[in-house]
């Protein structure tokens, strides 16, 4: 088991799904929680299933069902990522699990949530962020919305929302003695992430016309520009002092700062910035801007990111050799998963002193 970590001693049972739930459980495990992941026999392990114990279980086998019930009875948290009703059909819905563990925090991770006209329908990150309004904000003027991989919905609005809800519920449970059922939807979490944009819109500082606002590439000082070598730099000089430094780094005159907050001046200013950036390579600009407050940085691909001095200093990417990298949590990170059966055996004293159940053909364990 894990110790000397923020979540040491927290017991989590995961019914393996896709996307945000595995990522959320990875984060809990990286923070020290003991996570045992149950999956269907022969199923593949999706991305983000690391640093925890896994076990194949055939829920048609009564021995496997007993093992799962015992794990749930000893757990603090259960995480499932299936469509509404699936866990009930498997016999491990909230009613069944609460009957054996009233302190259980039962976290249901879905795309649309447990209610509403779309609750039972399929979807993916791109669909959830589209309906929340978030995808519309990733659009250049006159262009097509561009999804940022599945980072925004699955992981930003989904997994991070899941972990926050779980930890809040565990804190509440420790005060009240009773668990709860969490209805965590990617749509909900992604919509919450748009809070600042809704505030701006309500006060007249955000337009529904895409690509015309300060933060959606409308402003020329918050955008991405091609360099002489075809690579790109990102410019984020929103504040006046930083914009002044940007002009100096780019070799542009200070007179361009006048009226820069007026959208009418943006097309001409964009042309001047773009022309200047095209005179050097990406890495030349990166070297010039690095020691300044120009807010100009190189746009790196995933392989290049691991070689960046700032990223290396923060120790957030671990080299796996041959250009492969694994992101890690720099605060409280622990990587000490043990075989699933050993982990479950360590939980069993919680079950009123029962003897550990013998191995049964309905399940197999790995770490």
Q: Which residues are catalytic?
A: 124, 154
Give me the helix-helix angle, 240-250 and 266-277, nearest 10°. 40
Report residue 79 as tokens. Answer: 């995480």
Contacts of 268 (CB under 8 A, 6+ apart): none
Strand partners, 180: 105
CA distances from 352 to 11, 249, 292, 355 (A): 17, 69, 63, 9
The secondary structure of 161-225 as a DSSP string is HHHHHHHHHHHHHHHHS--EEEEEEHHHHHHHHTHHHHHHHHTT---SSTT-STTTT-STTEEEE
Q: Are 172 and 134 in contact (CB under 8 A)?
A: no
Nearest to 67 by CA among 321, 362, 366: 362
Residue with tokens 């989904």: 158
Collapsing DSSP states into helix, strand and coil, what is residue 251?
Answer: coil
CA distances from 203 to 197, 212, 266 (A): 10, 16, 22
If you count them, how many residues does the chain have? 367
Q: Are 227 and 233 in contact (CB under 8 A)?
A: yes
């Amino acid at each position: 088991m894990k110790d000397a970590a923020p979540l040491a001693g927290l017991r989590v049972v995961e019914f393996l799904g896709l996307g945000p739930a595995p990522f959320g459980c990875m984060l809990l495990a990286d923070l020290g929680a003991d996570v045992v992941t149950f999956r269907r026999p022969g199923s593949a392990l999706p991305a983000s299933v690391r640093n925890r114990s896994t076990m194949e279980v055939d829920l048609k086998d009564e021995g496997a069902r007993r093992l799962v019930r015992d794990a749930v009875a000893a757990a603090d948290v259960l995480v499932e990522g299936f469509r509404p009703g699936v866990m009930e059909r498997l016999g491990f819905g909230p009613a069944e699990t609460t009957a054996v563990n009233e302190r259980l925090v039962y976290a249901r991770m879905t795309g649309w949530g447990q209610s509403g006209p779309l609750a039972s329908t399929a979807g993916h990150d791109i669909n959830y962020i589209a309906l929340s309004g978030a995808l519309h904000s990733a659009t250049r003027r006159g262009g097509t919305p561009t999804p940022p991989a599945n980072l925004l919905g699955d992981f930003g609005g989904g997994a991070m929302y899941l972990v926050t809800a779980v930890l809040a519920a565990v804190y509440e449970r420790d005060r009240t003695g009773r668990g709860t059922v969490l209805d965590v939807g990617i749509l909900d979490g992604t919509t919450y992430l748009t809070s600042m944009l809704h505030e701006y819109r309500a006060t007249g500082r955000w337009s529904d016309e895409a690509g015309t606002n300060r933060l959606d590439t409308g402003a020329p000082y918050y955008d991405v520009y091609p360099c002489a070598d075809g690579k790109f730099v990102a410019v984020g000089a929103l504040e006046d002092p930083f914009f002044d430094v940007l002009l100096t780094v780019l070799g542009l005159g200070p007179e361009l700062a006048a009226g820069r907050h007026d959208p009418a001046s943006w097309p001409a200013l964009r042309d001047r910035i773009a022309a200047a950036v095209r005179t050097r390579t990406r890495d030349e600009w990166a070297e010039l801007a690095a020691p300044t407050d120009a807010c100009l940085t190189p746009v790196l691909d995933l392989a290049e990111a691991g070689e960046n001095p700032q990223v290396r200093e923060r120790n957030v990417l671990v080299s796996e050799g041959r250009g492969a990298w694994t992101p890690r949590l720099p605060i409280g990170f622990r990587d000490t998963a043990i075989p699933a059966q050993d982990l479950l055996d360590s939980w069993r004293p919680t079950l009123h002193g029962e003897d550990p159940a013998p191995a049964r053909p309905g399940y197999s364990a790995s770490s």
